[in-house]
A and B are shown apart, each in its own frame.
Chain A
Amino acid sequence: MIIAVQFWSYFADFAGCKKTEIEIENGTTLAKLHERVCEQFPKLAEAKNSTLKAVGVNYQDDDFVLSDGDEVSFFPPVQGG
């Protein structure tokens, strides 16, 4: 299945794009997708430990199993205010 991935803030600069699509197998977790993303966009691997991950509008843990149609966001710590 295809997962839509978005990068926000300076992660978009690190990746060189704001959006991409990644093909994954059924049962893939958010952690596994993050690993795939870091392989594809090596600069994002440098910020791996501080990366925040959301599916749709909610934060999710690494063991979250992705489903067809999910939209995943990767971004740095938030800075509102």
Chain B
Amino acid sequence: MKMELTISTDAIDEAALAKRREMGDGMGAVICFLGVVRGSEGDAPITAIDYEAHEQMARHQFGLIFDAIEKRWPVESVRLIHRIGVVPVNEPSLWVEVVAPHRPEAFDACQFLIDEMKKKVPIWKKPLSV
């Protein structure tokens, strides 16, 4: 399974990512998920979220999750970008792409990846308001 992980302060460029997509002939499903910063945290309006990561550990933990996906589903590739630093409202903080032969395993692997990330990958958010 091909794995690509980026943790960066750069904005996520969906068009550029789509252009770089590589798929084998047997692949019939591509799931792309975007996690976008909402304009409120609880009841309070916010303007952005400041993301902090323990980057070395985050990379390791993402690697363990990718390994678990590889063992469980016939996924051809996973690409994931998580932004750190200040991400304004309406901009994506997370982009995930899973390429697999069929829809069920692509959806299941994508859901698993994000669920596990939210339990294990050391990234935190600090909501910012005006």
Which chain A residues have a beta carbon within 8 Å of chain B's beta carbons?
6, 8-10, 52, 54, 56-59, 73, 75-76, 78-81
B118-A81 in contact (CB<8A): yes
Which one of A10, A56, A73, A81 contacts B122 once the chains associate, using CB atoms below 8 Å? A73
Report the bound CA distance from A1 to B23 in whole Å.
52
B interface secondary structure, majority = mixed
Please tell me if the beta carbons of A78 and B52 are within 8 angstroms of each other in the complex. Answer: no
CB distance from A15 to the nearest CB of B (A): 15
Shortest Cβ distance from A58 into chain B, in angstroms? 7
Tell me how many residue pairs across A and B have CB atoms closer than 8 Å: 60
B121 touches A80 (CB 8 A): yes
Q: A79 near B57 (CB under 8 angstroms)?
A: no
CB-CB < 8 A to B124: which residues of A?
8-10, 75-76, 78-80
User: Does B31 belong to the interface (CB within 8 Å)?
Assistant: no
Question: Could you name 16 residue pairs across A and B whose Cβ atoms are closer than 8 Å?
Answer: A6-B54, A8-B54, A8-B124, A54-B54, A54-B57, A59-B120, A75-B54, A75-B124, A78-B121, A79-B124, A79-B125, A80-B58, A80-B124, A80-B125, A81-B114, A81-B117
B→A interface (CB under 8 Å): 35, 51-54, 56-61, 82, 93-94, 114, 117-126
- Smallest CB-CB separation from B54: which chain A residue? A8
Task: Among A8, A58, A59, point to the contact of B52 (Cβ < 8 A).
Answer: A8
Q: Is the CB of A73 within 8 A of B57?
A: yes
